[in-house]
């Protein structure tokens, strides 16, 4: 290849972000802007957790035109933060400028940048929680679900969950919610995901409901969720635990934490919020000593039930 490369350190402030977004040409194959990712980056910047020193902005010059190959999410997030603090800036950001002879070279460069996969919220949470003093005994699978469960319990919308579910939620797991997290994780760690018998329990929505119900009455929660998990402890299919177990086993949750097997792909699916509402609805019926004449229909619940 005949391209040249110049690398420099810049301070990325609102003016530089506007230049990047407005004065350069977006590469035709670049990914579309994700509002959720922008919100996440802006939140990290506000809380001082964004690391500019490992951030690289890549532009490419071809026939007098400067193309932007990445950085739109970072630049947009800076402008969002600058609405509250017009002095906000990121020092020590790397600006890489390529000059190429044709579009083929530019496409080749674009294909090789940003190849590292972004860490998921579960991976971020595990990096904070694994091996900590109080949670060292908790399995990684359960540990990764605890912050997800908290985020679903706290937020009804996906954008709020995405911002919260990583580092902030992980800190809450071992901080404000430590005692509750230990109760939930102790229950979950008794289940065996390897057999597939308890797969219906290993979902963020279910863990969210565990948090909400254990917070109300630990003993009742243990009785209820053991029956949901194992199928033992109820006498009639009309009982709330039986109906919830049936629903969880027959539905997949999209936006969830599981990898879907061939059989799971054939199942109908609902969102995390709908599944969470159904869990609370069944719990409330259990607390009221009621029963369901028909199967649980999560999509019929138009709002979150108050946890009784």
Indicate whether 180 and 202 sit together in one domain. Answer: no
Please choose, from the candidates 160, 169, 13, 163, the residue with its C-alpha nearest in 3D space to the C-alpha of residue 78: 13
Q: What confidence tens digit (pLDDT) does each residue in 209-229 have?
A: 999 999 999 999 999 999 999
Q: Is 306 left (phi over 0), alpha (psi -120 to 50) or beta?
A: beta
For residue 260, name the pLDDT band (cuts at 50, 70, 90).
Answer: very low
Last residue of a domain, one of 112, 133, 168: 112
Measured CA to CA, the distance from residue 200 to residue 252 in angstroms comes to 8
Q: Is the pLDDT of residue 287 over 60?
A: yes
Measured CA to CA, the distance from residue 223 to residue 241 in angstroms comes to 9
What stretch of H or E contains 10? strand 4-13
3-state DSSP assignment of residue 201: helix
Q: How many CA atoms lie within 13 A of 1 on its CB side?
A: 15
3-state DSSP assignment of residue 209: helix
The answer to whether the beta carbons of residues 180 and 215 sit under 8 Å apart is: yes
3-state DSSP assignment of residue 4: strand
For residue 194, name the pLDDT band (cuts at 50, 70, 90).
Answer: low
Q: What is the mean pLDDT of the chain?
A: 89
Indicate whether 128 and 103 sit together in one domain. Answer: no
Please choose, from the candidates 174, 235, 173, the residue with its C-alpha nearest in 3D space to the C-alpha of residue 207: 173
Indicate whether 65 and 13 sit together in one domain. Answer: yes
Indicate whether 101 and 184 sit together in one domain. Answer: no
Indicate whether 148 and 251 sit together in one domain. Answer: no
Indicate whether 59 and 104 sit together in one domain. Answer: yes
* Number of compact structural domains in the chain: 3
Indicate whether 224 and 256 sit together in one domain. Answer: yes
User: What pLDDT was estimated at residue 259?
Assistant: 40
Last residue of a domain, one of 170, 189, 208: 189
243-266 core/surface letters (b: 16 or more CB in 10 A; e: else):
bbbbbbeebbbeebbeeeeeeeee
Indicate whether 197 and 303 sit together in one domain. Answer: yes
Q: Is the pLDDT of residue 156 over 60?
A: yes
Q: How many CA atoms lie within 13 A of 121 on its CB side?
A: 30
Q: Rg of the chain over CA atoms, in angstroms?
A: 24
The answer to whether the beta carbons of residues 286 and 262 sit under 8 Å apart is: no
Indicate whether 55 and 145 sit together in one domain. Answer: no
pTM of the model: 0.72
CATH code of the domain in which 93 resides: 3.90.1530
For residue 193, name the pLDDT band (cuts at 50, 70, 90).
Answer: low
Indicate whether 305 and 230 sit together in one domain. Answer: yes
Indicate whether 160 and 209 sit together in one domain. Answer: no
DSSP β-ladder status, 25-26 and 65-68: parallel
Per-residue pLDDT, averaged over 288-300, amounts to 91
Beta partners for residue 66, in sequence order: 61
State the residue range of the domain holding 268.
191-308
Indicate whether 300 and 201 sit together in one domain. Answer: yes
Name residue, tokens 């969002």.
Answer: 80
Q: What are phi and psi of 257, to 5 degrees?
A: -105, -5
Q: Is the pLDDT of residue 107 over 90?
A: no
Last residue of a domain, one of 112, 141, 172: 112
């Amino acid at each position: 290849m005949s391209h040249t490369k110049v690398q420099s350190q810049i301070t990325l402030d609102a003016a530089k972000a506007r230049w990047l977004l407005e004065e350069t040409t977006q590469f035709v194959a670049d990914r579309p802007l994700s509002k959720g990712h922008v919100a996440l980056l802006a939140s990290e910047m506000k809380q001082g957790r964004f690391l500019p020193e490992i951030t690289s902005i890549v532009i490419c010059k071809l026939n007098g035109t400067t193309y932007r190959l990445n950085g739109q999410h970072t630049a947009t997030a800076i402008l969002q933060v600058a609405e509250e603090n017009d002095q906000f800036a990121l020092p020590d950001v790397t600006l890489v400028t390529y000059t190429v002879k044709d579009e083929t070279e530019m496409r080749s460069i674009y294909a090789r940048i940003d190849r590292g996969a972004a860490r998921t919220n579960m991976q971020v949470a595990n990096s904070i929680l694994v091996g900590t003093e109080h949670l060292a005994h908790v399995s990684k699978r359960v540990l990764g679900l605890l912050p997800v469960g908290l985020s679903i319990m706290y937020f009804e919308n996906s954008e709020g969950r995405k911002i919260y579910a990583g580092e902030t939620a992980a800190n809450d797991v071992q901080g404000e919610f430590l005692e509750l997290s230990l109760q939930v994780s102790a229950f979950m760690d008794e289940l065996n995901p390897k057999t597939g018998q308890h797969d219906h329990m290993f979902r963020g929505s279910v863990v969210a409901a565990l948090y909400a119900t254990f917070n109300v009455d630990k003993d009742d929660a243990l009785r209820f969720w053991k029956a949901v998990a194992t199928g033992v402890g109820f006498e009639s299919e009309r009982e709330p635990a039986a109906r919830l177990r049936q629903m969880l086993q027959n539905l997949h949750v999209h936006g969830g934490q599981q990898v879907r097997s061939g059989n799971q792909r054939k199942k109908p699916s609902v969102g995390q919020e709908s599944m969470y509402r159904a869990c609370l609805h069944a719990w409330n019926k259990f607390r009221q000593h009621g029963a369901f004449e028909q199967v649980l229909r999560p999509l019929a619940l138009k709002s979150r039930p108050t946890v009784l």
